[in-house]
Structure 1
Amino acid sequence: MQLPSDSKNARLCFKQSTKNSPYVWFVFFILSHYCSSFPHVTTGIRKGKPFSGLAFQTRQLPCLTDIYNLFYINKIKIVSSNIYELLTPVALAHWIMGDGSAVNKGLVLCTDSFSLEETTLLLNVLVIKYELDCTLWKQGSGWRIYITRRSMPNLRSIVTKDMHPSMLYKL
């Protein structure tokens, strides 16, 4: 999400690699009534290599500013204090599709931008609300959440119906 300095309202910017274009279109059609244009091809350099992706953004709207304010303080991404209520099966599915990776027959959720305390809060929500077996993994200067292979059948039962078929490989 972005809150442009010249605006009082936030917008959502969404970009994925072209290999994930079916997922981009899936998300776009969910959010299309907030958008004024279709997804477009974008290029650049990512990790020192040429990158080609598909991106779209919403209009700047007060309803998106309300969401932005739940997850950003002074333009820094945070874990909202009511994350237990906000992390629904649909939200978890999109978190996995956008920032999850299959690893060792389990799943890693990228939480690199959060503090250890915030990542632990997210892990606790997964353990308490969804009864998932999770551990913390140190990744560079940050932390990630690993959902163990033992919890994958339970995770699949929670999120599969809300996932785009092109992203099921992550489970």
Structure 2
Amino acid sequence: MIAGNILIYNTVSLVISRSKSISIKTIQTNSKSIIIYDNMSYIESSNGIRLNNHVRSITKPTLIQLYKIIGHLLGDGTLEMCKTSKNPRFCFTQTFKRFEYVWSVYKSISNLCQKLPSQSKGLRKEKYFYSLAIHTRSYPFLMSLYDMFYPLMNGHRIKIVPDDLIYFFNPISLACFAMDDGAKVKKSGFYFHTKGFTFTDVYKLAGMMHYVFGYTVTVQNHENRPVIYIPSKHLF
């Protein structure tokens, strides 16, 4: 099946040059025109390409992309439902001052996006600020993450730290979480700013950090909101 300049067949993607077509019969076994799905070094963006429902339904992230999305969902990533789609899309927002970081996040999932990161202007504490936002397309594979991180409670979707996170919590997801909401304190330690979650969820997350990574962590109360603290002596 051809979607724009990408031929999708199960877990193999064939990138076709925009200037000329490539015959499958002429491709050699050592040709980089054939891309193994988990090799993100050669997967291109799909900006401007509209995918039909069938192509979206067979689109799956690589494991690395999945771990990164989950890590960002603990930080500055969200999943949102659009009025025109029955499936959610992944959104990631950061200040424009961190352009290089936002661009690196975009590049890692650009094949799932239809547009480049967009800029917006806001007002906070009587000061204007600029931010960049990444939006993927709406995909069925994101629905399982939506149900996991945003369970229906009393008729509302509320973001939580799910129990099943422990199966996906690894150095990749932790690194993305740290890049989003982490802060190193000189000669002190490292903070994860988890103020968007409840104390119950943050204690659960702290327990997972100890179980999976062996970190000795504490949950602190900052202005009646929870943060996770790792002393410097426990950092690698």
Distance 1:4 1:140 in 2: 34
Is the aligned partner of 1:130 residue 2:213?
Answer: yes
Aligned residues: 153
* CA deviation after TM superposition for structure 1 residue 16, in Å: 0.8
- What is the aligned counterpart of 1:91 among 140, 158, 173? 173
Structure (1 or 2) with the greater helix fraction: 1
Distance 1:26 1:90 in 2: 14
Q: Is the 8 A contact 1:34 1:59 kept in 2?
A: yes
TM-score by length of 2: 0.61
Is the aligned partner of 1:44 residue 2:122?
Answer: yes
Q: Is the 8 A contact 1:133 1:150 kept in 2?
A: no
Higher mean alpha-carbon deviation, 99-108 vs 116-125, is at 99-108
Task: Indicate the residue corresponding to 1:9 in structure 2.
Answer: 87
Secondary structure at the counterpart of residue 137 of structure 2: coil
Query: 1:139–1:5: structure 2 CA closer, same or farther, 3 Å change rule?
Result: farther
Name segments (4+ residues, structure 1) moved above 4 Å: none
Alignment of 1:8-157 (within 5 A): 8-74=86-152, 75-104=157-186, 105-153=188-236
For each residue in 1:37-74, what CA deviation from the matched residue of structure 2 results, as whole angstroms up to 9, or x when unmatched?
A: 01122211234421112212011111112211110123
Higher mean alpha-carbon deviation, 97-106 vs 115-124, is at 97-106
Q: Quote the RMSD (CA, aligned, Å).
A: 1.5
Query: 1:72–1:47: structure 2 CA closer, same or farther, 3 Å change rule?
Result: farther
Task: Indicate the residue corresponding to 1:157 in structure 2.
Answer: none
For each residue in 1:95-138, what CA deviation from the matched residue of structure 2 results, as whole angstroms up to 9, or x when unmatched?
A: 00111112253111122222222111110111121111211110
Distance 1:3 1:148 in 2: 38
* CA deviation after TM superposition for structure 1 residue 6, in Å: 4.5
Secondary structure at the counterpart of residue 80 of structure 2: coil
Match of 1:92, as an amino acid?
Answer: L
* CA deviation after TM superposition for structure 1 residue 4, in Å: 2.8
* CA deviation after TM superposition for structure 1 residue 14, in Å: 1.1
Q: Of the two structures, which has the highest relative contact order with CA contacts closer than 8 Å and spacing of 6 or more?
A: 1
Distance 1:83 1:151 in 2: 23
Distance 2:201 2:125 in 1: 26
Structure with the greater alpha carbon radius of gyration = 2
TM-score by length of 1: 0.83
Distance 1:127 1:27 in 2: 27
Distance 1:67 1:28 in 2: 19
* CA deviation after TM superposition for structure 1 residue 18, in Å: 1.3
Match of 2:232, as an amino acid?
Answer: R
* CA deviation after TM superposition for structure 1 residue 11, in Å: 0.7
Structure 1 stretches lacking a partner, 5+ long: 154-171
Q: Is the 8 A contact 2:198 2:225 kept in 1?
A: yes
* CA deviation after TM superposition for structure 1 residue 141, in Å: 2.8
Structure 2 stretches lacking a partner, 5+ long: 1-78
Q: Is the 8 A contact 2:169 2:212 kept in 1?
A: no
Distance 1:51 1:42 in 2: 9
